[in-house]
Structure 1
């Protein structure tokens, strides 16, 4: 009687051993001189792709860095240009300021063609021939000399050709105010009292021209109606001071800053 195949534990182990031993061909375990052709191609492609990635990253790094440097250089250049512009404008302002100061000095100081301007602006003392007008109030009704009377007299002197005028030592300038304040007349905002002495430097015919113009006729009328006294005397030499500095300074409007 022959024995059949083993079906017990030992037979199962023997079967598994045979399957394990014959799972791969014997050629697989044999040494090869070089890798298979497909493996070599795959390795080459992998290395090429890896190298391409590294090269791309390097190029992007190198390109990105100079771009940042260029932007920084552009900003620095723009700042330098603006600083140069501000410096140029500041220098121009200083130049114009110096020019204005020079013109102002030329107008206020004798010489270099500025003497006539200084005289007209009452910015310097003057000396020369002229007339002196002395005026006092009358005792009649309305005989008190008013600021308007003195204003008319000053305007009449200018109209007659006067080059410089003062009232009780107060030089008249283009900004001078002759006003009644309180109980007295003020000139250049300084009170003056009677008798009023009006000195004027001008041509030899200054007195005659004053009497002949509307201002002189007004004073003649005041003298006849209310007893106001006014006399004109010629003078070979009169000395008139400069107007106060406050009357020579011009006030200019400035722009208000807008509220935020």
Structure 2
């Protein structure tokens, strides 16, 4: 076709979709089909060789899979034995630790009895009072118990991650202990572990450590102090904070008054530097008194 006034012949390229529908088969496939129809494909011998190579490859892969499976099965008892050995060692160490702690308590009682026999009553009473205040002696009295427990664990439907807002953190126990100290508490224990001036409450992964020993939910913070300590804690800033956590994230929070509770002594302090802080204080308040096994009532 010639364009008017130009004398040039115009050409049109075929439409791509039209060409695709007109020849849907790729030329290479068409050529291969034509050669196969003419009998120009691989010879029977070549096909047998190819089939043999394929069979050998499949057999080799199957053999490797069987060997890997048998090796995995053979290694499993060794791993199980190693795991069981470690678990048994941990349990033995825990049992040994409990026995040593009981022996240490017994020796501590013997030392207290010998001290009471050798020294005068006034000196023993003053020393026992100082030990009670520093956490090195068992104490008995009334006060408050704050119980915190983890809320239900939820999983984010989008990311699949666990939501931990309802879990008790180390900072929660720190806040509870500090609020009780501020309310007049004279002795505090977390899950039976006595707090002192050098105690630490830290988080290690999902575990909470008190003086490097793990504690688990529910967390019971028992404090000896004034009669209204439980009410003041519940109505104070810490109590309101935990009530809000309970309302929003399901964290369990309870306070209660306790009477005639005994808190065990803390482990021996390892002090490197010490200096006198002045004359010893007077007798302890009625809310906090040394345990009878420590030389007083």
Q: TM-score scaled by structure 2?
A: 0.45
Quick check: 2:180–2:233 contact (8 Å CA) kept in 1?
yes
| 1:209-232 deviation per Cα after TM superposition (whole angstroms, max 9, x unaligned) | 112322222211211211111111
C-alpha distance in 2 between matches for 1:177 and 1:110: 31
Instruction: Report the Cα distance in structure 1 between the residues aligned to 2:240 and 2:169, rounded to whole angstroms.
Output: 16
Map Cα deviations across residues 129-155 of structure 1 (whole Å, 9 max, x no partner): 122221111126410100000000000
Verify the 8 A CA contact 1:160 1:213 in the aligned structure 2.
no
Counterpart CA distance in 2 for 1:178 and 1:117 is: 24
Q: Does 1:137 align with 2:150?
A: yes
Give me the whole-angstrom Cα distance separating, in 1, the residues matched to 2:260 and 2:230: 15
Which of 111, 117, 132 is matched with 1:119 structurally? 132
Structure 1 equivalent of residue 272 of structure 2: 251
Would you identify which runs of 4 or more consecutive aligned residues in structure 1 move more than 2 Å? 109-117
Quick check: 1:173–1:243 contact (8 Å CA) kept in 2? yes
- 1:193 and 2:216 equivalent? yes
CA contact (8 A) 1:125 1:239 kept: yes
Secondary structure of the corresponding residue to residue 141 of structure 2:
strand
Q: In structure 1, what is the equivalent of residue 247 of structure 2? A: 224
CA distance in 2 between counterparts of 1:213 and 1:118 reads: 30
Contact 1:143–1:228 at 8 Å: present in 2 too? yes
The alignment yields a C-alpha RMSD, in angstroms, of: 2.4
Query: Alpha-carbon deviations, 1:162-220, whole Å to 9, x = none?
Result: 11100011100000000011331000110011111111111110011112322222211
Checking the alignment, whether the CA contact within 8 Å between 1:185 and 1:193 is kept in structure 2 is yes
Any residues of structure 2 matched to 1:12-27 within 5 Å, and which? none
SS of equivalent to 1:238: strand
User: Mind listing any 5+ residue stretches in structure 2 that lack a counterpart?
Assistant: 1-118, 155-162, 275-297
Q: Which residue of 2 aligns with 1:77?
A: none
Deviation at 1:110, TM superposition (A): 7.6
Q: Give the paired residue count.
A: 145
- Quote how far apart the aligned CAs of 1:237 are: 1.2
TM-score w.r.t. the length of structure 1 is 0.52
Q: For 1:235 and 1:112, locate their aligned partners in 2 and report how far apart those are by CA, in whole Å.
A: 25
SS at the partner of 1:132? strand
Hey, what's the Cα distance between the residues in 2 that align with 1:204 and 1:219?
21
Structure possessing the higher radius of gyration over alpha carbons: 1
**Which has the bigger relative contact order, CA under 8 A and spacing at least 6?**
2
Equivalents in 2 of 1:221, 1:124: separation in Å? Answer: 36
Structure 1: which 5+ residue stretches go unaligned?
A: 1-105, 254-260
Alpha-carbon contact 1:136-1:194 (below 8 Å) kept: yes
